[in-house]
Amino acid sequence: MRGTSRFRCGNVLKKTQWLSQEKLEILQKKQLHLLLQHAYDTVPYYHNLFRKKSLKPTDFRSIDDLSKIPVLTKDDIRNNSSDLLSKGYPQSNLIRYRSGGTGNPIRFYITKEQSSWEIAAEFRAYGWANYRLGDRCFMFWGSPIDKAKYKTMIGSFTKTLERIQVSDSYLMSKENVSTYADSLRVFNPEIVRGYTTSVLTVAKYLLENKDDFVRPKSVITHAETLFDSDRKIIEEAFDCPVFDYYGSREIGAMAAECEEHCGYHISMENVLIELEKDGEHVAAGEKGAIIITSLRNFGMPFLRYRVGDIGVFSEEKCNCGRGLSLLSSIEGRVADFMTVYDKQKDQIVTVGPMYPFFEIAAMKIPIESYQVIQEKIDEVVIKIVKGNGYSSKDTAFLLGYVNQVFGENVEVHIDFVDHIAPSASGKRSSFVSKVSSVY
């Protein structure tokens, strides 16, 4: 139905994961050389960049040579979207996507072949967590992009066919957590997966209420940093192992834990990861900005894309026997929730402060970027960098819309700024809280 080949690609990945790291690196370099030649020949952005830097695809003989190419940022994608498209693919044959986890969405395209490899790598990682296609899966998710996808006819049919039940984790109140617990009891999932914060919230509820009816095979956490203390709570509540997964909308599956839990196996067949600090590659054990090259997307190649996260390479060899190289840790991807007091319900609730801005972006309000700062439990400051054409009418609409989402109990102030500085990790966080979470 999708026109993809996830099972063909999956069969390949099931075999290649057992190759030695040296052989996987050879495969990775061959795929990289194909991509570089293709980008030079068919992608105006990279052809012009290579010409400007007096580079040719044959100049890249090792991974270190990639540093000759400047990193690709989200702003680069926004400002050069048409030039990043390959002239070798009609745009009608590409799949359109949107990403905006940092409050400033980008739009991009991938090929169906890329989609096939992405899904195959994702389900290979799920297989390490003992998740098999068709297992009953209870999913905590709140992304408006994905929620809209699940409402489509194909999305709804696929969700039913794959036996996935999606619960909206946008608003995580104690009342909703109780409802989720009831749904878990009825659905009796073999797998639980979703945002780390959402899964952790439900896990704490189960422990507090001494509910032991949910016993899945595994829990798979996504999108937010999984701390050791959180892992212990989730494992105690569900009485099963937790597997952390690392991916992005732009690149797909990038790395995941296997049954040995000694780090994150990188999907070397699909992605090439570099770690940089101050423009130089870091050694194993050192923190560095994660730079990703997507090896399969020939429709809109991303060479050396800065995802905004921090990682650490590991020199260890995993006891599982897979040759896929390891990240020992991934940092800087905590998507916090905002704690507020609901007077009507007389209870503390948590909301995802960034999601209203997905909808605001879709309404084409001219905002370059934003940052939500929670000063107190009932006070929020929203920093906004105005876009061209922004007016007082936009401010009035924004305040009205945000007040509907956050509730009348939260006082909202707007602070117009020229620039939003990144955090110490180098990532521009869309949400900063000075209030401890209720959970």
**Whole-number pLDDT of residue 204:** 83
DSSP state of 21: H
Residue 347 near residue 177 (C-beta atoms within 8 A): no
Nearest to 257 by CA among 138, 140, 127, 120: 127
Would you call 109 helix, strand, or coil by DSSP? strand
Structural domains of the chain, count: 3
Go through the chain and tell me how many residues it has.
439
Asked whether residue 124 is domain-assigned, the answer is: no
Asked whether residue 138 is domain-assigned, the answer is: yes
Range of the domain at 59: 20-86+247-331
Helix (H) or strand (E) holding 29, with range, is helix 21-42
Extended strands (E) in 278-410: 280-281, 287-294, 305-314, 326-331, 338-342, 347-351, 367-376, 379-386
**Whole-number pLDDT of residue 344:** 60
Would you call 383 helix, strand, or coil by DSSP? strand
Q: In sequence order, which residues have a C-beta less than 8 Å from that of residue 241 and are 6 or more positions away?
A: 129, 218, 219, 235, 259, 261
Q: Are residues 140 and 226 in the same domain?
A: yes
Residue with tokens 């110490």: 424
Q: How far apart are CA 196 and CA 222, in angstroms?
A: 6
Tell me, what CATH number does 206's domain have? 3.40.50.980
Would you call 159 helix, strand, or coil by DSSP? helix
**Whole-number pLDDT of residue 412:** 85
Q: Are residues 135 and 236 in the same domain?
A: yes
DSSP state of 357: H
Asked whether residue 118 is domain-assigned, the answer is: no
Which alpha helices (DSSP H) does 44-195 contain, by range? Answer: 44-52, 74-79, 112-128, 144-151, 153-161, 174-187
Residue 256 near residue 243 (C-beta atoms within 8 A): yes
Query: What Rg do the C-alpha atoms of the chain give, in angstroms?
Result: 22
Residue 330 near residue 264 (C-beta atoms within 8 A): yes
Q: Are residues 299 and 360 in the same domain?
A: no
Lookup: tokens for 64: 């270190």
Q: Are residues 147 and 225 in the same domain?
A: yes
**Whole-number pLDDT of residue 434:** 75
Tens digit of pLDDT at every position of the chain (439 positions): 667 788 899 999 999 999 999 999 999 999 999 999 999 999 999 999 999 999 999 999 888 899 999 999 989 999 999 999 999 888 888 888 877 644 567 889 999 999 999 999 999 999 999 999 889 999 987 654 455 555 665 556 666 777 888 887 665 666 678 888 888 999 999 999 988 878 888 888 898 888 888 899 999 998 777 878 789 989 999 999 999 999 988 898 999 999 999 999 999 999 999 999 878 888 888 888 899 999 999 999 999 999 878 889 998 999 999 999 999 988 754 344 566 666 665 555 555 544 455 455 555 677 766 778 888 878 888 888 887 788 888 888 888 877 776 667 778 889 998 877 654 433 345 677 777 544 3
**Whole-number pLDDT of residue 278:** 79
Q: Are residues 223 and 150 in the same domain?
A: yes
CA angle 248, 253, 257 (to 5 degrees): 110
Domain final residue, candidates 240, 273, 307? 240
**Whole-number pLDDT of residue 63:** 85
Q: Are residues 398 and 423 in the same domain?
A: yes
Asked whether residue 107 is domain-assigned, the answer is: no
Residue with tokens 């989609």: 115
Asked whether residue 115 is domain-assigned, the answer is: no
Asked whether residue 162 is domain-assigned, the answer is: yes
Report the 3 state secondary structure along 220-249: EEECCCCCHHHHHHHHHHHCCCEEEEEEEC
